[in-house]
Amino acid sequence: MSSLSLENYGILNSSNYCQLSPDKLQNLVIQNGMGIETKSGVLAVNTGLFTGRSPKDRFIVRDNITENKIWWDEKFNQSFDPKKFDNLYQKVVNYLSGKTLYIRDGYLCSDKRYQLNIRSISEYPWSDLFIHNLFLRIPKIGKILPDWLLLCVPGFHANPITDGTRKKNFSILNFFKKIILIGGSGYTGEIKKSIFSVLNFILPTYKNVFPMHCAANVGIHQKDTALFFGLSGTGKTTISSDKNRKLIGDDEHGWTYDNIVFNFEGGCYAKILGISKKKEPMIYHAIKKGAMLENVVFKKGTKEVDYFNDSITQNIRISYPINFIENIETKLLSSNIRNIFFLTYDAFGVLPPIAKLNKAQSAYYFLLGYTSKVAGTEFNIKKPQATFSSCFGAPFMPLHPIQYTNMLIDKLDKTKISVWMVNTGFIYGEDSSGGFRIKLKDTRKLVQSALNGSLSQVPYEKDPIFNFKIPKFCPGISPNILNPKKTWKNQKMYKVQVEKLVKKFIKQFDPYRKYTNENILSGEPKINYHS
């Protein structure tokens, strides 16, 4: 127990554990009946009712700082009254008073110029273990002066009528008081994405840093940096894991004014449904003591995890310190950005396996953030459904999407970077017509060919609808799969699917149209079958 007082936060008579090691936290979780140690010694917990984020229950306090800067919308950036926040904060600290709590000091941003220090106070020991795994770590409490306070109280339920929340659970950011309140949900992703949202406001607004929801790696020999944007299910973590390149991070990064890319975090939070040693070797080997599994199911009568069992959720996860992966860039930052990849799962089978984008197309597809929901990914999804998440991370982007897009345009103006769209979805027709998904080994070869410069040596053809350039050849890849138009047996159906997807793009882009110019508008696809 620590003598650290929490009275200045309004928390009275608490017993506090500070900066506990993963081993001690794991023992406490098991002793308190809050988790199970698996056959391999890894802690497994069940996050309860919530096994994923609840975007509609994430709020930002509306005040003089945020009033004219936040892109207020009902879907993601919902406003919260300052007085309601103060009242709710008081209820939370009253709830925590007299309890045994878990305190940790850590920081975000591996580039020390932008370091953000966080003090977290958690009700549950496994929340504290998650924070240890995901934040950048320091050895002792009190060695840094906290910039922000994070209160994580899964057992506290708000009263929507009096507290101003939508339901009993909530995640609220207060930029004036620099406090994050998370309550009513044990899902640890709420912690991660709350911090990401804070940085996505602070860094572009005050530091001229472009925040990105992407993976990043760097070549071992050429020291060239690559960025991988992509929504869930597109293969962002898988494809950025490359034995010939060092991982900078798998999810959240900043891009500075002097062209340094740095990881926000000190750990990884990976989906592991269906994981295997062959398919995901880097993540598979990170499943060891000190990591934490969420919402997994055990094989009957054993403590061996069944990674193919999604009876609790398809969103089974693992958190671990990034140094659990051998092939990492130890500084968690790099320069010399040479390639950007937009990963999309196109269930309609009309986008090519790889295409080279010009600046306007890069801005257009970044702004839209397209992928597809397919059968099984969400309840009641029976047919492919196009889905969009602006800037490949809409729920975590507090500013207007155009602001982040303009930052990307500025980077492309000032650097010589190749931007690629990579379709990790269907290439031989749509899902429902018997088409099938591109093989992972082919996607890897295409990405590697872009990285090593092979694709700069081949001829291209321009797609008449999307106007991006498709390579005619790629080393080690059959040229028959490179252009989707040539893979479809039914050309009439191909044209129908192209038109359907393009119309979705145009409709999704319409709300942004008045904010844009030719830097983005000229990247829009046009239906033209006469060329």
Residues 120, 152 contacting (CB under 8 angstroms): yes
- The question of whether 236 is a catalytic residue gets the answer yes
Give the active site residue among 57, 128, 163, 251.
Answer: 251
- The question of whether 444 is a catalytic residue gets the answer no
CA-CA distance, 47 to 187, in Å (whole number)? 5
CB atoms within 10 A of CB 204: 21
Torsion sign over Cα 494, 496, 502, 508:
negative
Give the active site residue among 188, 197, 237, 405.
Answer: 237
Angle, helices 189-206 vs 401-414, to 10°: value is 60
Give the active site residue among 14, 38, 53, 127.
Answer: 53
- The secondary element (H helix, E strand) that includes residue 503 is helix 491-509
Give the active site residue among 132, 236, 338, 445.
Answer: 236
CA-CA distance, 521 to 516, in Å (whole number)? 7
Give the active site residue among 119, 193, 445, 469.
Answer: 193
- The question of whether 245 is a catalytic residue gets the answer no
Torsion sign over Cα 444, 450, 453, 457:
positive
- The question of whether 335 is a catalytic residue gets the answer no
> Torsions phi, psi of 467, nearest 5?
70, 0
Give the active site residue among 213, 400, 437, 445.
Answer: 213
* Coil, helix or strand at residue 273: coil
- The question of whether 132 is a catalytic residue gets the answer no
Give the active site residue among 232, 387, 433, 454.
Answer: 232
Angle at 426 between CA 498 and CA 484, to 5 degrees: 50
- Nearest CA among 254, 274, 272, 276 for reference residue 263: 254
Q: What is the DSSP letter of 189?
A: H
- The question of whether 285 is a catalytic residue gets the answer no
CA-CA distance, 252 to 113, in Å (whole number)? 17
* Coil, helix or strand at residue 162: helix
- The secondary element (H helix, E strand) that includes residue 171 is strand 170-174
Tokens at residue 184, please?
């009513």
> Torsions phi, psi of 201, nearest 5?
-95, -50
Question: What residues contact residue 482 under an 8 Å CB cut-off, 6+ apart?
Answer: 352, 353, 354, 470, 471, 472, 473, 474
- The question of whether 241 is a catalytic residue gets the answer no
Catalytic residues: 53, 193, 213, 232, 236-237, 251, 317
